[in-house]
């Protein structure tokens, strides 16, 4: 910034939308760094896995981000529940 100066006014709104991914990742890294010492690393990982499993089901159900639609059948819902139970038990036993 010292060499080039400050960016022009409104540069943030003119940036391509996919640059928001960097902001999301930065928010994720900072939030995990802040919460892990407070709630424990294992709990932080548990909640990340929980969010990923639920998000995967929703992305498939609604075909978000260009994914092929794959409806949540009762078998898939039971499978997701078993995955969540497995993550929970792995956390409780560890």
Axis crossing angle, helix 74-93 with helix 41-62, rounded to the nearest 10: 170
Give the closest residue to 35 by CA, choosing from 48, 25, 22.
48
pLDDT of res. 94: 56
CB 67 within 8 A of CB 60: yes
End-to-end CA distance of the chain: 47
Cβ-Cβ contacts under 8 Å for 20 (sequence gap 6 or more) = none
pTM of the predicted model as reported, rounded to 2 decimal places = 0.64
pLDDT of res. 31: 93
- Predicted confidence (pLDDT) per residue in 29-84, tens digit: 999 999 999 988 888 888 888 888 889 989 999 999 899 999 989 998 998 899 88
pLDDT of res. 61: 92
In whole angstroms, what is the distance from residue 89 CA to residue 8 CA? 52
């Amino acid at each position: 910034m010292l060499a080039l100066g400050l960016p022009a006014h409104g540069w943030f709104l003119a940036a391509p939308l996919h640059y928001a991914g960097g902001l999301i990742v930065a928010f994720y890294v900072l939030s995990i760094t802040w919460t892990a010492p407070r709630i424990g690393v294992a709990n932080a990982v548990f909640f990340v896995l929980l969010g990923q499993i639920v998000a995967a089901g929703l992305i498939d159900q609604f075909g978000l981000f260009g994914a092929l639609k794959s409806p949540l059948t009762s078998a898939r819902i039971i499978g997701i529940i078993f995955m969540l139970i497995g993550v929970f038990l792995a956390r409780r036993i560890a």
